[in-house]
Amino acid sequence: MSRTPAIPLQNGARPLGKIEVLPNAIHTIAVQAISECYGVVGIAAPRLHYGYPVILSPEHQNQGVQMRLINDQIVLDVYVVLEYGLRISEIGHNIMSGVRFLVEKMLGVPVVRVNVNVQGLSHSAAQTSVPERKIAP
């Protein structure tokens, strides 16, 4: 059975033991940071389904974040659907900086790169839902 590699954390002069952080924990941190960014409609699956993005449900959102460890530094690939009509580059930069900040703050391990993959554009849920109107006879 293969084991997912963990990231060892370095802290202090005299080791008392070791701390390992599994990739699933890092995915959870990244998902939280992405969810807090303005303009993100949802976290998407890495693969399109018949050319369309698949927005993941909350219990599967970790699948929309992929992590690689290169020379004890983290590289993250995130897959998102953004709100139509907003500046994509600005939202992408906000995602990059938010994810990098939160992961580095919580783990103390440098994040080399955060690659944002925009899988699609969509209208937010607030704009697509039309309030029910009653017409008087």
* DSSP-based three-state secondary structure for 125: helix
Q: What are the C-alpha distances in Å from 37 to residues 25, 49, 69, 75, 84?
A: 19, 25, 24, 19, 15
Q: Quickly count: other Cβ atoms within 10 Å of residue 46's Cβ.
A: 15
Residue 7 tokens read as 């990231």
Chain Cα centroid distance, residue 116? 9
Evaluate if residue 136 carries a pLDDT over 90. Answer: no
Q: Are 80 and 63 within 8 A, CB to CB?
A: no
Identify the CA nearest to 65 among candidates 91, 38, 88, 34. 34
Residue 136 tokens read as 């008087």
In whole angstroms, give the CA distance from residue 77 to residue 96.
10
pLDDT digit string, tens, across residues 16-47: 788 888 999 999 999 999 999 999 999 999 99
pLDDT digit string, tens, across residues 70-81: 888 899 999 999
Name which residue leads in pLDDT, 102 or 1: 102
Q: Are 56 and 40 within 8 A, CB to CB?
A: no
The Cα angle at residue 51 between residues 45 and 56, in degrees rounded to 5? 20
> Across all residues in the chain, what is the average pLDDT?
85
